[in-house]
Amino acid sequence: MNIIQILNKDNLDFKDICTLLSLSNSSDIELLRQKAENVLLDYVGNNVSIRGLIEFSNYCVCDCLYCGIRKSNLNVTRFRLSEEEVLSCVDWAIEKNIGSVVLQSGECRDKETIKYITQLIKLIKKRSISTALPNGLGITLSVGEQTFDTYKSFFDAGAHRYLLRIETTNQKLFSEIHPNYQLFSKRLECLESIKKIGFQLGTGVMIGLPNQTIEDLANDLLFFKELDVDMVGMGPFIPHNQTPFAKADIDKKTNFLLGLKMISVLRLLMKDINIASTTALETLSPKGRMLGLMHGANVIMPQLTPVDYKNKYILYDDKPDIDEQKESIFGKLKINLNNINRNISFNQWGDSLHFKNKNRKQ
């Protein structure tokens, strides 16, 4: 079967997905990109949803072998933003008509942290209700593995979307990149809890991990479909110099292209979900995030984290914009989006259409 025939199929199977992810000829990749862009415009439209990303703490009890803020990295100066500091980011988002925020951090499960996060969600909600945002800001959480009850208390406090990446669905690979007490089965259990509670569920993987194959990535995409997720954030794996993967032998150009192809194929597989164009893409190419959007993504998460803390939240080397103020990041983003003819959704939560469509069917 040639590429056009595959692209015109209603349901891509494992073999088709592997073929598409293996494309190396630029005109073939362009055909894939165009198809994904058409599906995006038909099902989701031209609007890009924005979420202001607030990386509020780098304390972490996990020791993921790839991550710069793993607990064993003693070079990291640990911080947690005060409530006032978070709220000042939130006020800025409101002023700029950014309709939703993502609260992300390293993983902590102690009572005090859970109370702090729950309180933050309530404060953000209370503060952001206005005529423009009658239900306040949309709040997405990305604070790792928690108990069912903790997830429920975050949901009851007002958060409504949750991101927890599976990182890879190859269980052997998962165990190679995590310490043995961090379990794949636990991650799955958390994803099920998040879904059951009623959050819009987001997951994702790293692309181009050492020993990861095209088949693994094809399985990752099929896993997203099987789990029926509402949102996906995935990006190339990039080594961090203070981790066991510092010297991992990876090809940045291949991983970047693979990142774009993963977005396009996922758009064909799950037409109405939210797909983020991630910062890791931008690390490997100056126009990475715009290219992600042009390959089928519809969400972008500009950082609102205060500059003084950004250099302490380094998950991988060469993270872009770490010295840049949010004003300048947001200004450039607007220009760049305009240049690729995409609109920004202001004062919108930008919920996953997939989630809405799913609930309508029930």
Which residues lie near ligand SAH (CB under 6 A)?
A: 66-67, 104, 106-107, 142-144, 164-165, 167, 206, 235, 237-238, 240, 280, 315-316
Q: From CA 262, how far away is CA 294, in angstroms rounded?
A: 13
Q: Nearer to ligand SAH by C-beta: 142 or 298?
A: 142
Angle at 336 between CA 142 and CA 100, to 5 degrees: 30
Q: From CA 58, how far away is CA 68, in angstroms rounded?
A: 10
Q: Nearer to ligand SAH by C-beta: 262 or 280?
A: 280
53 bridge partner residues: 102, 303
CB of 316 to ligand SAH, least distance (A): 4
Q: From CA 96, how far away is CA 258, in angstroms rounded?
A: 34
Q: Minimal CA–CA distance to 202: which of 49, 41, 342?
A: 49
Q: Nearer to ligand SAH by C-beta: 40 or 281?
A: 281
CB of 15 to ligand SAH, least distance (A): 27
Strands, DSSP E only, in 283-341? 299-300
Q: Nearer to ligand SAH by C-beta: 224 or 316?
A: 316
Q: Nearer to ligand SAH by C-beta: 19 or 182?
A: 182
Q: From CA 146, how far away is CA 144, in angstroms rounded?
A: 6
CB of 194 to ligand SAH, least distance (A): 11
47 bridge partner residues: 343
Handedness of CA 323, 306, 341, 353 (dihedral sign): positive
Q: From CA 97, how far away is CA 155, in angstroms rounded?
A: 23
Q: From CA 151, how far away is CA 147, in angstroms rounded?
A: 6
CB of 171 to ligand SAH, least distance (A): 16
Handedness of CA 57, 63, 68, 71 (dihedral sign): positive
Q: What's CA 42's distance to the chain center, in Å? A: 23
Q: From CA 144, how far away is CA 60, in angstroms rounded?
A: 10
Q: How many CB atoms lie within 10 A of CB 172?
A: 10
CB of 10 to ligand SAH, least distance (A): 31
Q: Nearer to ligand SAH by C-beta: 105 or 345?
A: 105
CB of 281 to ligand SAH, least distance (A): 10
Q: Nearer to ligand SAH by C-beta: 115 or 356?
A: 115
Q: Minimal CA–CA distance to 213: which of 279, 245, 168, 177?
A: 168
With H, G, I as helix, E, B as strand and everything else as coil, classify residue 154.
helix
Specify the residue for token string 């079967």: 1
Q: Nearer to ligand SAH by C-beta: 43 or 148?
A: 148
CB of 243 to ligand SAH, least distance (A): 7
CB of 14 to ligand SAH, least distance (A): 23
Q: Nearer to ligand SAH by C-beta: 7 or 53?
A: 53
CB of 66 to ligand SAH, least distance (A): 4
Start-to-end Cα distance in the chain: 37
